[in-house]
């Protein structure tokens, strides 16, 4: 077997080493531009990526021998999937690899927001001892609404089993509910939810989904957690809802302003007004796209990708 694989992003050594042991020929190029990679991609049968640049029609047309694209992550939005599939290219992702990490992160964010943990910690470290202003909320007896009930949503619902909560889920697919979450219509979820957690891909249907109309459709004030994609939320609309207390707090691991690579935040040095509000808000918890970024998931993602590449070629 002679299968040449180009790795354009660094990953856990498990990925490289196990592919090599299985007889694949690995090549690495972590620095060249998209155009420079395009100039040589015709020599490769497979490519392993994270999110350095978009795999578009131009790139795919240059990749005349390409048999698979493996993204070491959950989503494939950086790839023109429809065009790649039309060329018979296998598309590989690894949502199983970091679903537990995302679930644990989501739970941690909710508990931190509910109990003012970050704010209280900062105050004590600055010499303040404020008990009443840091009185918290309990998750028990709340209704948690999950939008997107795939790998991530299901893993999060499983984590909630230790709490006395009602867990609802909404998904575009039918019959995905299970023993951990009851599948309902979007209208019912918006009627009952106290805590909303997003576990969505970024698609034309989910782009800017959480806007003013979407938020106002909720019957009760609610908290929102987003560990999916930043562009699923219109930040300015979220901020307006926070000002009116329609949204009680937000835990955002992803931001509308992220570049596609997820490695940097802004494309310029101007801080948007809505983001400045989030930076100054005590009821907002921000993290730099790390929900699925644990030491354990780093290994697990690599292993899932190895196993799936080997399966394409029926290699044990």
For the residues 117-144, what does the mean pLDDT come to? 96
Residues in the chain: 316
Give the pLDDT mean for 63-92. 94
Q: Active site residue: 99, 105, 289, 300, which one?
A: 289
What is the pLDDT confidence band of residue 75, given thresholds at 50, 70 and 90? Answer: confident
Confidence band, pLDDT 50/70/90 cuts, at residue 266: low
User: Which residue out of 258, 273, 280, 298 is catalytically annotated?
Assistant: 258
> What is the rounded distance in angstroms from the CA atom of residue 307 to the CA atom of residue 3?
15
Query: What does the pLDDT average to over 212-231?
Result: 97
Whether 7 is a known active-site residue: answer no
Neighbours of 213 (CB within 10 A): 8
Q: How far apart are CA 82 and CA 93, in angstroms?
A: 15
> Which pLDDT value is given to residue 2?
86
Q: Does 52 qualify as catalytic in the annotation?
A: no
Edge-to-edge strands, sheet with 182-183: 182-183, 166-170, 143-147, 195-198, 222-226, 247-252, 284-286
CATH superfamily, with its number, for domain 98-286: NAD(P)-binding Rossmann-like Domain (3.40.50.720)
Q: What is the pLDDT of residue 271?
A: 83
Least confident residue range of 14-23, 101-110, 144-153, 261-270: 261-270
Intrachain domains 4-93 and 98-286 with the same fold:
yes
Q: Looking at the domain that runs over 4-93, which CATH code has it been given?
A: 3.40.50.720
pLDDT tens per residue across span 172-213: 999 999 999 999 999 999 999 999 999 999 888 999 999 999
Question: Which pLDDT does position 1 carry in this prediction?
Answer: 63
Task: Identify the pLDDT of residue 262.
Answer: 58
Active-site residue identified among 52, 229, 256, 300? 229
For the cut 70, the answer to whether the pLDDT of residue 267 exceeds it is no
Please answer whether residues 99 and 72 qualify as being in contact, where contact means their C-beta atoms are separated by less than 8 angstroms: no
Residue 51 or residue 60, greater confidence = 60
Decide if pLDDT at 263 tops 90: no
Structure tokens of 213?
Answer: 């109309």
pLDDT at 268 over 70: no
- The domain spans of the chain are 4-93, 98-286
The label of the residue with tokens 């065009």 reads: 83
What does pTM read for this prediction? 0.92
The answer to whether residue 131 is catalytic is no
């Amino acid at each position: 077997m002679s299968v040449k694989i180009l790795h354009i992003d660094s990953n856990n050594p498990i990925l490289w080493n196990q592919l090599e042991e299985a007889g694949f020929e690995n090549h690495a190029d972590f620095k060249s531009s998209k155009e420079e990679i395009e100039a040589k991609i015709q020599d490769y049968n497979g490519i392993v990526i994270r999110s350095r640049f978009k795999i578009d029609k131009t790139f795919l047309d240059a990749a005349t021998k390409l048999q698979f694209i493996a993204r070491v992550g959950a989503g494939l939005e950086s790839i023109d999937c429809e065009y790649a599939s039309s060329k018979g290219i296998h598309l590989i992702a690894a949502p199983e690899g970091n679903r537990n990490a995302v679930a644990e992160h989501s739970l941690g964010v909710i508990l931190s927001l509910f109990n003012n943990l970050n704010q209280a910690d900062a105050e004590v470290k600055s010499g303040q001892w404020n008990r009443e202003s840091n009185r918290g909320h309990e998750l028990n007896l709340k209704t948690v609404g999950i939008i997107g009930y795939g790998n991530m949503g299901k893993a999060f619902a499983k984590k909630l089993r230790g709490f006395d909560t009602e867990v609802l889920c909404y998904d575009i697919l039918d019959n995905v509910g299970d023993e951990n979450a009851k599948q309902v219509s979007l209208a019912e979820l918006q009627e009952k939810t106290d805590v909303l957690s997003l576990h969505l891909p970024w698609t034309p249907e989910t782009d800017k989904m959480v806007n003013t109309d979407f938020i106002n459709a909720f019957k009760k004030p609610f908290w929102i957690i987003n560990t999916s994609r930043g562009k699923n939320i219109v930040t300015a609309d979220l901020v307006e809802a926070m000002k009116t207390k329609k949204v009680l707090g937000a835990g955002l691991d992803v931001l509308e302003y992220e570049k596609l690579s997820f490695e940097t935040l802004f494309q310029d040095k101007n801080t948007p007004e809505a983001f400045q509000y989030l930076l100054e808000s005590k009821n907002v918890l921000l993290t730099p796209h790390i929900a699925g970024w644990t030491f354990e998931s780093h290994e697990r993602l690599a292993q899932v990708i190895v196993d799936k590449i080997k399966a394409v070629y029926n290699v044990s």
